[in-house]
Amino acid sequence: MSGDTDVPYKHRHSEPLRLDDKAAAVARAQTNKHGDDLDLGMDLDSDPGEVPGPQPMDSDANADDYYSELVRSKAQAKAEKDARKEAQWRQVVEANVAEEAPTEADAKRSVNYQILKNKGMVPRRTKEQRNPRVKRRKRYEKAQKKLNSSVTQVRALEGNYGGEATGIKSGLARSTRFA
């Protein structure tokens, strides 16, 4: 049985709510064939020939009541959510007003960090950018990588000569020809 067979739905043309009887009957027949151990709401005292499951809604009034109940509950939930948001916003505004209110009428307001530093709009900086030493070190490493990829560097001999590390290539000539 599919999950939607017992859910009433509102038709576009204001027809009464009802279940798709053919599809529900086929689904119930398949369930009876494969799932005899499932309890589908069938009473033991009822007629064995009767097909168990949800019954289609008879009256148009029940359908409209169900639909209007859904709409009303959605609207109520939205109103509650809006009220909670409004209350939270009010608390934030009241807290800010309480912070800005002077303690004494004669006393001057103390300068806060934002006014003292007068930085304005500053972009977000990474940890490396905030430390000048590390920033220069990273810049140097980046320049070294770029230089090593473009120019072959002379490497100092370490220990005794151990031959060519990559082997001798017969087809490779690194000399320049004069024309």
> Global pTM?
0.27
Q: Is residue 169 part of a domain?
A: no
Q: Is residue 142 part of a domain?
A: no
Q: Is residue 75 part of a domain?
A: yes
9 SS3 class: coil
Q: Is 42 exposed, middle or buried (0-12, 13-18, 19+ CB in 10 A)?
A: middle
What domain count does the chain have?
1
What region does 104 belong to: left with phi over 0, alpha with psi -120 to 50, or beta?
Answer: beta
Per-residue pLDDT of the chain (179 residues; tens, 9 = 90+): 566 666 666 655 555 445 566 666 776 676 665 555 555 555 555 555 555 555 555 567 777 888 889 999 999 999 999 999 999 998 888 888 777 665 566 678 888 988 899 988 989 999 999 999 999 999 999 999 999 999 887 878 888 887 777 888 888 888 887 87
Q: Is residue 27 part of a domain?
A: no
Q: Is residue 32 part of a domain?
A: no
Q: Is residue 37 part of a domain?
A: no
